[in-house]
Structure 1
Amino acid sequence: MLLRTRTWAAVNSGTGNIAGLATMAGMLADAFSALPGALRLVEPVAAERVAVDGTVSAVTHGRHLHLSVRPDAARRLLLTGHMDTVYPADHPFQVLTDRPDGTVNGPGVADMKGGLAVMLAALEAVEAAGCPIGYDVIINSDEETGSFSSAGLIEDAARGKIAALTYEPALPDGTLAGARGGTGNFSIVVRGRSAHAGRNPQDGRNAIVAAAALALALNAAKSPRLSVNPARIDGGGPNNVVPDLAVLRVNFRPADAAEIARAQAAIDAAVAEVAAAHDVQIEVHGSFNRPPKPIDAGAARLFGLVQAVGTDLGVPITWRDTGGVCDGNNIAAAGTPVIDTMGVRGGAIHSADEYLIVDSLAERAGLSAVTILRLAENGL
């Protein structure tokens, strides 16, 4: 597992590094082909990006890996992970370093190439035990940017499964992520009318002012169960020109489905109000791409099972709610119980201090393997 992690982490596979993702997909296909079943590399679904000038263009993503094993089995699981990292090809953080404390510092070692090594080792152990359970493996190339080109693939694979395991890293002490809020990311294009700022400003329609008013209106919708973060306004130009274009970027973090509905209503109302008050045109791009993930009855049973396995293996298992999001949100929204932090123990992810606790590789592979064997024997 450590050798695989080192080998995979040595390949830069930032979400936008298509060549690196192609290399990574090939290496993963070779490694996971040791498992039985049909393996394919799936072309990404089209996704879009709104540029600073308000234009909408296609975003290129890498291919996704899909392995299907025993599709006719009575009990089937979904296991997911991602091959992309947050470190682009030109990022200075590219080297792995062994630390005296038994950790390895490197890009993606915890998030989540170590997790992929854990997943594969667990499945190899399950196959060696002759377990008849069926499962799908999805390893996508765009999780770090929202899984826009792979969400449908994951949703389809989640349907009909008794449970799902996702290999995001656990916290350094082994704590798992419990309930998660959702997220929505929007780029809102405001089109006004340019004019001379001194000679005839009354003929202009200031897109920056309208975007600022929209940001304030959306921010007013926040509550303890809905975080609203107007993060950036692109646009404007010379001081003597009334700006005719602005792009507002805003992130929402709803705690539950009701807050998504309230946030969407707030967006619709704010857009209509600002458009009328400032005489501008407004286009809304984006969506709530990660639904909230509560711990429902099925998820509670799955957490209880993993905790019992941990007790038998001498690995204490606890969990707590988190504001972060991942593909586990989308799996839960498809109706499948999921634990989405079955990967290695590690920390400082998304930074140049990211590290993997090496001893957690075998620990977490054992936890997954026994969990899968018990799900095969008793279901959920």
Structure 2
Amino acid sequence: MNNKEITIYDLAKQLNLSATTVSRGLRGYEAINKKTRLRIEQLATELGYQRNKFASNLRVQRTHTIGVIVPKLNSLFISSVLSGIEKIVNKANYNLIISQSFEKELKEKNNVQTMFNSRVDALIISLSTETEDFGHFDGFLKKKIPIILFDRVTDQIPSTKVVIDNFRAGYIATEHLIMQGYKDIVHITGSMTHSVYKDRFEGYRKALDQYGIAFDPSLMLSVELTEPALRTVLLNDVLKRDRRPDALFITNDSCAAIAQVILGEEGLSVPDDMAIVGFNNDLISRVTSPAITTIHYPGYEMGETIGELVIEQLTAEGGQVVNKTVILDSDLLVRSSSVRRNG
């Protein structure tokens, strides 16, 4: 059996074409006649030709890969963002290498180093809740490799940032509850070390102030956004208070849905006994009964924006690090979980 590696020159000889024409045909150059490209592709498939991407990338000092690090993959929001990114970068002949930090700073640091050693052409990342030191990005910054932060961002890394206006989102969610007549509004949120949750809290607090409701620190609960943590805080704290709160603003739709189940288990009705507003507009917010009022977080559109920005930086002259913030629109989607039925 002949195990000789098939090269472009073998294809060119059989097709009576130049090696340059074959190379461009395999890469889909439109300048090459469509029929000629088809002949090249058919012969390459027939003979088992494998393009040596590593060698060609070394010649242009590009791997045509983009690293993406996210806290966790089991999130509709993250999945939507990744889908939007991939749609755009694939059109520009880039592929994604995706990893997750599992909300651990050490894991994130290891992932960043792996991406750097893999010579990705750019890095896209949403920071873990634990991350407080940002020295692991120094290698990318020194080599002027583009970094794009999204959702969970920091001003300590010179980079492009893609976010929504979390302050406004927190404000309009709280304002809606106030306009419905709710006053004892518990805000359940994640770690305040990150601007995402900090800004939503500031929006919540501003809405209370604007409508003359004194801020009660005991109504602001920063917890891990998981079912066990939420169940603990509701059963051992919120529902045991002498004056039971009348609304929950939870910055995560999954937790908002879990809260709704817990309230039902305790014999409480949503929204009659307690209203709920979530965040993200995940599918679960639309299929619960009642459906959950939420902030629409445009994940797919965010992904497309990130993809366009990274390709723009990769194709720009000079390799200059771009330090800017792009803010996307978000809206309140009012559903039955927060609308008073007695008017």
| Fold-level similarity (TM above 0.5) | no
Which structure is higher in RCO with an 8 Å CA cutoff and minimum separation 6? 1
Q: Which has the higher strand share?
A: 1
Greater Cα radius of gyration, structure 1 or 2? 2
Q: Which has the higher helix share?
A: 2
Q: TM-score, normalised by structure 1?
A: 0.28
